[in-house]
A and B are shown apart, each in its own frame.
Chain A
Amino acid sequence: MEKIRILIAKPGLDGHDRGAKVVARALRDAGMEVIYTGLRQTPEQIVEAAIQEDVDFIGLSCLSGAHNNLFPRVINLLKEQNAADIKVFGGGVIPQSDIPFLKESGIVEIFGPGTSTEVTVSFIKQLYDERS
């Protein structure tokens, strides 16, 4: 039986992973396999882990303000590795005005503070069903 596999990662230097853990837990409770790689990951580490784990999605959480740098870097590395079929969503503290740029660079969705985990879960399930 197939299961949705997701990597939840925190790129960059901020040290707060409560949000990432809440999302990871919600995805687990929705029956998904969640690989949690922890704090302070480089985009290279995130993409390499995603490939070895054969995940369907990567969820990036960033609170440091470096999202405009780090998120597109993950997308580009996935392309370089021929792994652009892995879809990337993001969360954390991200100003509204940055969202169009991030989506343009290939992030499928940004879930800001206050988003219900149900919204995230159903978004992922829908995207997964559309793909397969």
Chain B
Amino acid sequence: MNAAKVDKIVSEVLVGNKRYIARAISMLENESSQAAEIIKGLYPHCGRAHVIGITGPPGAGKSTMVGALVNQFRQSDKKCGIILIDPSSPFTGGAILGDRIRMPEHTTDKGVFIRSMGTRGSLGGLALATRDTVKVLDAAGYDLIIIETVGIGQAETDIVQTADTVVVVSVPGLGDHIQTLKAGVMEIADIFAVNKADTDGASKTVRELKLMIELSNYPAAERPPVIPVSSLKNEGIDKLAGSILELHSQALESGRFEKRRKEQLAIELNEIIRWQLIKRINSKISQHELDVSINELYLHQITPHETAHNILKSLLKGDE
């Protein structure tokens, strides 16, 4: 029965049935026992979409920008899959997913699919199931997949491991040029968009970002452009959209796309192995054994590294 169900889901996703796309994403989010089979069915059909990441601080206007960009992309009839991520409560696991509110006009567009996700404990700016959701939308035939991260601070950089093109959204008034020199988010941009460019201080923000880029040692061809935008007034959006598509075709030509995708796959593989190992270890160690080990650690009789080594050793022996 399960096999038939997975087959049905896969075939309906492949023809773009939104009800099944939505259901497949839920099953991946919920870590359903059929998740791996669904991915297996979809994976051969993946790899065509251009994945775009939009990241930046809360209130920078990311959602409004996504809405405006989709308007622009739809004019050239590109199908858009949108993943909007908001934080889950660390206390209750609940979430208010409120990014759709900025793009109501796209809800009933046949060429657009919008999905909101809670982070469910993930800390890097994305939801745990983001990568697999990209696979579903890719297989379903969306040309562009736009991921909006949670509102971020300085260190949430997971988007660079998932997107082909990362747009870091900045706004005037968030600090002086020292902020632009810091490591982390400032390093992951393929493009800087300065939103709310119709407000005071925008030209200063643009100038400071450009100065930072000059001081960095980007290869000349990879210097991120800095594009002033007003998403609300739809100014500069055409330029931003054009720049996103152009950078992608350059990356395809230069081999940068393939290099980055391979780096991302190495990270993804590593994470899956780690995740599965941890699940297996947890299923094999009894709570009692764990309690004994933790007590030994507490009494400083053994180091955490030695304990981990011993657990792994006995686990690998058990597999032989």
Contacts and interface: CB of A to CB of B under 8 A. Distances in A.
A81 B19 CA distance: 9
A35 to B, nearest CB: 5
Contact of B18 (A1, A44, A52): A52
Q: Which of B19, B31, B100: most chain A Cβ within 10 A?
A: B100
Nearest to A50: B22
A25 B96 contact: yes
B93 interface: yes
B304 interface: no
Nearest to A8: B96
A52 B115 contact: yes
Interface string B62-99: 00000000000000000000000000110011111110
A1 B97 contact: no
Nearest to B92: A31
B118 interface: yes
Interface in A41-98: 41, 44-45, 48-49, 51-54, 81-83
Interface of B: 18-19, 21-23, 25-26, 30-31, 88-89, 92-98, 100-101, 104, 107-108, 113-116, 118, 120
Interface of A: 1-3, 5, 24-25, 27-38, 41, 44-45, 48-49, 51-54, 81-83
A34 B97 contact: yes
A3 B153 CA distance: 27
A37 B100 CA distance: 6
Given A37-B100, A48-B108, A53 B94 contact: no
Contacts of B104: 37-38, 41, 45
A33 B22 contact: no
Contacts of B93: 3, 31
Contact of B23 (A2, A37, A45, A54): A54
Given A27-B94, A34-B94, A45-B104, A3 B22 contact: no
